[in-house]
Amino acid sequence: MNSPKAVPPTDPDPRPSQKVKLLWTQMLVFTGLLSLALLLTGTGCEYDAACSTCPGVSSSSNLNYRAEVSATDHKMLGVWVDIVASGVYSPALTSPLVGDGVLGLPSYLDDLAQKGYLAIRVPHAPPTYTVSILDPDPIEFRYYMPPSSSTAITVPIAITRVLAYEGTVNTLYPISDGHSHWEVWWIEDDHFPVPTDTFRLEEGWPQAIEVSFRIDFSDANAAECAGCPMEILLYNGYTFIGPFQAPLVMASSTPLPGNPLAAFDQGCATTKATYMQYITPTVPFSHTHWLGNYDTVTRTFTITATSSQNWAYTYYYGRVGQPFQPAPSLPFTVSVGHGAPGGWPPPCVGISAIHTPSIAITDTLRETFYIAATSTVSPDVQADVTSFAMAPGYQLDEAKFKLYLPLVLRTRN
């Protein structure tokens, strides 16, 4: 039986506004259930043309996401997330940065698995808004050990729903309209299946980490929930991070009225986005995201961004397969070509934000980078995404270093 996981007060959102929109499956990967994937991504310069000054890293990471209504049961929505990762890693190295071509693992993996959990705000489909059911499969983790081996080792990562903590989440973030509900999930065995010796992740099929789950919308067609808002809230064992919100996007050969007309990092072929990375002083790093246009007309978007550390980034942009070019200072505009009816896959434009830290990076530093794109003609057509950069020795217990936290907490009591 799992040991109880203590619940502290909530963490204030690092952004000026109260909620951050983010593709919810991407946040699944960053947070409790799938954090193993992005914790193996190294320092992450993902697009050479945009980030020619980034240090070389012998690893990479990418997401392949797809959500589709079942052809045989229209009330079921299937969701698949393949995490493409490659590189050689050693559990003996305590720093996640590169050492002689081998990457280390973060020291807090066990702490996160033992104490953390993920709250997911699951939508209900109109018009009845009957309670839906989230049904995940075990996460499949594939690696090669020793690195020279040609035979993959596959390990399932079981997850389980924990009803005991859903009351806490509902108290902090109550739902009153009946259009969704919170579910809390955590790692079943309180640990990630980290290999015991140096191992290799390989890009291929099947991918290094595969996730699949279903949402049963009971008495409604799952397509009716295209565009329904989702939210993700991470409790990392010490503090809450989020919630993060974004619409549910579904792939379809014909347009679904609820699907958003713009989104970051979905369906953009042969691209890689950066969601989490480790950084050091004087070494440039980049956040790279891809803006897709699902509309049948070309759109021009205004790009804005914020940094929780108030860092000044230099921006570049470009189309798939082309060198990136410098962008003006914020805000600036980019144009994204029109797609085909149904919108999948969409035309995409990549945007990279590059910065070289000049300050000391403490072991509690977490940079939260937020970027948004808003149509210049129709402001309601917009997309946004969040990514993170952390110190190599990052610690989960951020709250004890935040002197302002008690003042914030008193406003919630």
Q: State the average pLDDT over residues 64-90.
A: 82
Reduced to 3 states (helix: H, G, I; strand: E, B; else coil), residue 92 is coil
Q: State the average pLDDT over residues 2-26.
A: 33
Specify the pLDDT at position 353. 95
pTM of the model: 0.72
Neighbours of 86 (CB within 10 A): 18
- Which is more confidently placed, 77 or 139? 77
Say if residues 74 and 221 touch (Cβ distance below 8 Å): yes
Say if residues 93 and 105 touch (Cβ distance below 8 Å): yes
pLDDT of residue 44 exceeding 90, the answer is no
Output Rg (C-alpha) for the chain, integer angstroms. 20
Pairing of strands 153-157, 229-235: unpaired
Specify the pLDDT at position 187. 77
* Range of lowest pLDDT (167-171, 190-194, 268-272, 381-385): 268-272
Specify the pLDDT at position 328. 92
Specify the pLDDT at position 398. 61
Specify the pLDDT at position 224. 93
pLDDT of residue 19 exceeding 60, the answer is no
Say if residues 51 and 354 touch (Cβ distance below 8 Å): yes
What does the DSSP 8-state code read for residue 239? S
Computed over every residue of the chain, the mean pLDDT equals 75
- Which is more confidently placed, 157 or 19? 157
| Two tokens, residue 158 | 């079981």
pLDDT of residue 186 exceeding 60, the answer is yes
| Residue 190 neighbours by CB under 8 Å, 6+ apart | 2, 3, 110, 113, 114
For residue range 365-388, what is the model confidence (pLDDT) as tens digits? 788 899 999 999 999 999 988 888
Q: State the average pLDDT over residues 77-94.
A: 78
* Alpha carbons 335 and 349: distance in angstroms, whole number: 8
- Which is more confidently placed, 97 or 35? 97
* Alpha carbons 287 and 285: distance in angstroms, whole number: 7
Specify the pLDDT at position 318. 94
- Which is more confidently placed, 306 or 93? 306
Instruction: With cut-offs at 50, 70 and 90, classify the pLDDT of residue 39.
Output: very low
Could you give phi then psi for residue 260, rounded to 5 degrees? -65, 155
Specify the pLDDT at position 280. 78
Pairing of strands 348-355, 366-375: unpaired
Angle, alpha carbons 75-77-80 (nearest 5°): 165
Q: State the average pLDDT over residues 20-29.
A: 34
Specify the pLDDT at position 379. 94
Say if residues 337 and 343 touch (Cβ distance below 8 Å): no
Say if residues 390 and 108 touch (Cβ distance below 8 Å): no
DSSP string, 138-149: PEEEEEBSSTT-
Instruction: With cut-offs at 50, 70 and 90, classify the pLDDT of residue 397.
Output: low
* Range of lowest pLDDT (33-42, 158-167, 243-252): 33-42
pLDDT of residue 307 exceeding 70, the answer is yes
- Which is more confidently placed, 144 or 410? 144
